[in-house]
Structure 1
Amino acid sequence: MIKSDLTKGEIGDFYWGYIDRIPPDAKLIETLEKNTEEFSEFLKSIPEDRWQYRYSPVKWSILEMVQHIIDTERIFQYRALCFARNEPNPLPGFDHDIYVLNSEAEKRKAADLIEEFKIVRRSCLFLFKSFSEKRLKLSGNMNDMNATPRALGFIMAGHALHHKDVISNKYL
């Protein structure tokens, strides 16, 4: 399954900002694998003294941002699993600001967050490799919008790219 197979009805408009960061001919599993490696290496290159930096008092630190990515990946994996298993009930949204506020990410070590990201993404890869093409196309409702597992997979990769750009442009 490649990104250009996705249709607009598979996810709400907001999420296309993440999906559009991925090339049209990108394959889902290969994209997630490459994205995991590249994002992990990028995180390793961040100087230790920058991980708690905030370019504004109300903005997240890099520690908090990476924790946010990990939390979001877990939630999106759960959503993908629900839809692939044909869950009939709508899934709620989540307030990422509340999650960050309560994450205690500032107490974490950068190396631990990088390792956790890799482990969570590895779990994601096993999950997505287990889905047939049919299961990847099933849709469910999350946060009052339709979504498919395959759209969620591309969103996760694009979400990491989005935050890589934010870190590169505002934190380093």
Structure 2
Amino acid sequence: MRMRPEAGQYAAHFEGYVTSVPEGDLLQLLREQAAATQAALELVTEEQGAYRYAPGKWSLKEVLGHLADTERVMSYRLLRASRGDETPLAGFSEELFVQGASFDRLSVKQLQQELSAVRTSTLSLLSGLPEEAWSRTSPVNGHATSALALACIILGHEKHHLKVIQERYVS
């Protein structure tokens, strides 16, 4: 898959994630990102995992858990869209998800493995999609969203948070 979705195929608040995705084979970009993320996390200590760069901000462990949770949610949405399911899907509260998960009780290694497992599952789903499925949409939080857009959101979302991790957590 080598295209980007058109602006009308996703909600405007996802624009930054979608436009940050470089041109190229989307599955390959997702594989490369997964490898780069795993390599970067190999160096993260438990002390760094507990770090919060400001009061009220998530710990690095919570950011990693948020990445896994968000990819799960977006992959589910992508599955629904790609299969042509037009049942409206609600939004989700990332704050509620992080609060309910207690990610700080897990080790960095556990969170790294979870993130890897989620990406493996996403890649498995994407690699089996027929060409016509990429343009199918589902209403997500009141906006028609294509399977292609959701795949780009997954990539762009992780890209955004990896930049934050490098700038604010492990620099």
Category of TM-score, reference length = shorter chain: over 0.9
Q: Secondary structure at the match of 1:102?
A: helix
CA distance in 2 between counterparts of 1:167 and 1:66 reads: 9
Q: Secondary structure at the match of 2:101?
A: coil
Aligned mate of 2:142, from 141, 144, 154: 144
Q: Is residue 2:142 matched to residue 1:123?
A: no
TM-score, length basis structure 1: 0.95
CA distance in 1 between counterparts of 2:6 and 2:167 reads: 31
Please tell me whether the aligned partners of residues 46 and 107 of structure 2 are also in contact (alpha carbons under 8 angstroms).
no
TM-score, length basis structure 2: 0.95
Aligned residues: 170
Aligned mate of 2:85, from 63, 84, 87: 87
Q: Could you tell me which runs of 5 or more consecutive residues in structure 2 were left unpaired when the two chains were aligned.
A: none
**Matched AA of 2:64:** V
What are the superposed Cα offsets for residues 18-77 of structure 1, whole Å, 9 maximum, x if unpaired?
A: 122221x22111111111111111122223311001111200001000100100111111
Please tell me whether the aligned partners of residues 86 and 137 of structure 2 are also in contact (alpha carbons under 8 angstroms).
no
Please tell me whether the aligned partners of residues 48 and 60 of structure 2 are also in contact (alpha carbons under 8 angstroms).
yes
Please tell me whether the aligned partners of residues 3 and 24 of structure 2 are also in contact (alpha carbons under 8 angstroms).
yes
CA distance in 2 between counterparts of 1:52 and 1:117 reads: 17
Q: Identity of paired residues, percent?
A: 29
The alpha carbon displacement at 1:89 in A equals: 1.0
Q: Give the equivalent residue in structure 2 for 1:66.
A: 64
Q: Could you tell me which runs of 5 or more consecutive residues in structure 1 were left unpaired when the two chains were aligned.
A: none
**Matched AA of 1:133:** E
Structure 1 stretches of 4+ moved >6 Å? none
Please tell me whether the aligned partners of residues 52 and 169 of structure 2 are also in contact (alpha carbons under 8 angstroms).
yes
Q: Secondary structure at the match of 2:50?
A: coil
Q: Give the equivalent residue in structure 1 for 2:21.
A: 22
CA distance in 2 between counterparts of 1:47 and 1:107 reads: 14
CA distance in 2 between counterparts of 1:83 and 1:3 reads: 17
Q: Secondary structure at the match of 1:51?
A: helix
**Matched AA of 2:51:** Y
Q: Secondary structure at the match of 1:31?
A: helix
What are the superposed Cα offsets for residues 72-106 of structure 1, whole Å, 9 maximum, x if unpaired?
A: 11111110111111112100000000110111101
